[in-house]
């Protein structure tokens, strides 16, 4: 900005200022004439403006229509659904691990609900339904509302399934299968013995399903056979071990895969609670590494076909390969069918140098690497048992270098 900006009249072109002549026009020459605006050109400009405005209106309308359509698509579609409790009767099986989509598809195939969407919406909208549909075979009706079908499925009492608890032995599972399927006693065990090669067991099991009858709930329908249930259990066990890459882990622990299953079965029988399973597994591995006999009461109980807290010195002299007081190393096979937590403990034992453990009282399992400390813990266990009830003839302090508990610890025995 110059000083001229503050002196009106001095700026060329300002009112009263000398007019600057265009360069090249002589003084006194006539000024150039400016022609009047062309009315046709003015009309053309107006038409262009109106056209542009029309295009804005058109494209704006298209955009608004598109936005409205997109918004309408965001609204959840209406799900086909029946009304009421339905009619007739139909059985629908829910396999282990089935998700809502799989269950919904089965319901639609059997004519129970009108659409998968109606059922999944009902289930997701129900806090009571979260994780409550148990495996099994349910009796429902056809053309039920999604809500009515869900109400039946979330009640475990309606699941006609077979539940195998963790730690059950083979003979217990066989008896449960016979009872569930209303079969003559011994049918399931005979099936396991005669058709063991068809169950999908690993070769190293020599056809024995013990350890591979995975504890879970299994569907039972009108046509289910003992072989069907045994096959489901073995298949499930195979999946549990394969997903954890048990072969590689077993090698890292200095065990075979069968040895790992055997360790898991002993952990299942010895640990007082799931929190202690990793420590029990570590005691087993530590004793194996040192060449110490495991001295586990659970293996003797398996050999004798019983379950007890008392193991006598006479018991520890039992002539059996499952007597881990007499024989070092692992027993020849698993002694129960371990669940997921016991398997994980065998695969990933808690770090520690413990060699002994004893459950002094429920919820109080003590682990130590000191024989003297273990003996004091065992004495406390025996005192607690004596205070709880009169001593049985021949009971007393354990004589073997371990402990006893509920379940027993490493090296438990009573004279």
Q: What is the DSSP string of 59-98?
A: HHHHHHHHHHHHHHHHSPPPPP---SS-EEEEEEEE-TT-
Higher pLDDT, 366 or 129: 366
- pLDDT at site 246: 79
On whether the CB atoms of residues 295 and 411 are closer than 8 A, the answer is: yes
Question: Which tokens go with 325?
Answer: 């007081």
Q: For the chain, how big is the Rg over CA atoms in Å?
A: 42
Using 50, 70 and 90 to split pLDDT, how confident is the model at 44?
A: low
CA distance linking residue 68 with residue 221, whole number of Å: 51
User: Quick one: CA dihedral 280, 284, 289, 293, positive or negative?
Assistant: positive
Q: Is the pLDDT of residue 320 over 70?
A: yes
* pLDDT on residue 409: 60
Q: Which domains does the chain have, with CATH numbers?
A: 87-159 (3.30.1490.480), 162-243 (no CATH), 246-388 (no CATH)
What confidence score (pLDDT) does residue 402 get?
38
Q: In 3D, which of 287, 259, 279 has the Cα closest to residue 405?
A: 279
pLDDT of residue 66: 60
Q: Please state the rounded mean pLDDT for residues 273-278.
A: 95
pLDDT tens across 163-222, in order?
999 999 999 999 999 999 999 999 999 999 999 889 999 999 999 999 999 999 898 887
Residue 32 pLDDT > 90: no
pLDDT at residue number 113:
95
Task: Say yes or no to pLDDT of 97 above 50.
Answer: yes
What pTM value is reported for the model? Answer: 0.71
**pLDDT above 90 as % of the chain:** 55
Q: Which of 61-75, 129-143, 226-240, 310-324 has the lowest mean pLDDT?
A: 61-75
Beta bridge partner(s), residue 312: 414
- Residue environment code for 376-408, b if the CB has 16+ CB neighbours within 10 A, otherwise e: ebbebbbeebeeeeeeeeeeeebebbbbbbbbb
Highest mean pLDDT among 48-62, 84-98, 328-342: 328-342
d(CA 173, CA 212): 11
């Amino acid at each position: 900005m110059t000083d001229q900006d503050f002196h009106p009249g001095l700026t060329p072109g300002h009112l009263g200022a000398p007019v600057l002549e265009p360069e090249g026009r002589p003084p006194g020459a006539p000024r150039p004439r400016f022609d009047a605006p062309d009315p046709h050109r003015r009309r053309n400009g107006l038409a262009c403006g109106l056209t542009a405005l029309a295009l804005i209106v058109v494209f704006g309308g298209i955009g608004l229509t598109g936005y409205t359509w997109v918004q309408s698509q965001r609204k959840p579609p209406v799900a086909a659904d029946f009304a009421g409790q339905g009619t007739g009767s139909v059985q629908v099986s829910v396999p282990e691990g089935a998700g809502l989509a799989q269950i919904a598809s089965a319901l639609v195939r059997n004519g129970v609900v009108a659409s998968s969407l109606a059922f999944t919406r009902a289930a997701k909208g129900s806090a009571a339904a979260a994780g409550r549909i148990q495996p099994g075979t349910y009796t429902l009706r056809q053309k039920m509302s999604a809500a009515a079908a869900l109400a039946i499925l979330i009640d475990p009492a309606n699941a006609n399934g077979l539940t195998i608890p963790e730690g059950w032995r083979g003979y217990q599972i066989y008896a449960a299968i016979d009872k569930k399927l209303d079969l003559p006693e011994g049918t399931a065990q005979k099936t396991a013995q005669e058709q063991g090669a068809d169950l999908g067991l690993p070769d190293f099991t020599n056809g024995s399903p013990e350890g591979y009858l995975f504890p879970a709930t299994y569907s039972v329908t009108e046509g289910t056979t003992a072989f069907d249930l045994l096959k489901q259990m073995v298949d499930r066990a195979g999946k549990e071990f394969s997903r954890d890459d048990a072969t590689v882990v077993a090698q890292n622990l200095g065990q075979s895969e069968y040895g790992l299953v055997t360790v898991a079965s002993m952990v299942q029988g010895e640990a007082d609670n799931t929190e202690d399973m990793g420590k029990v597994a570590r005691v087993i591995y530590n004793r194996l590494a040192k060449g110490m006999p495991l001295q586990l009461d659970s293996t003797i109980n398996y050999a004798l076909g019983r379950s007890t807290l008392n193991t006598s010195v006479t018991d520890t002299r039992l002539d059996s390969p499952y007597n881990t007081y007499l024989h070092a190393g692992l027993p020849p096979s698993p002694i129960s069918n371990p669940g997921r937590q016991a398997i994980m403990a065998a695969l990933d034992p808690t770090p520690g140098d413990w060699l002994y453990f004893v459950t002094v009282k429920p919820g109080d399992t003590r682990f130590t690497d000191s024989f003297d400390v273990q003996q004091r813990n065992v004495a406390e266990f025996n005192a607690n048992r004596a205070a709880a009830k009169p001593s049985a003839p021949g009971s007393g302090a354990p004589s073997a270098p371990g402990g006893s508990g509920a379940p027993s610890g490493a090296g438990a025995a009573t004279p």
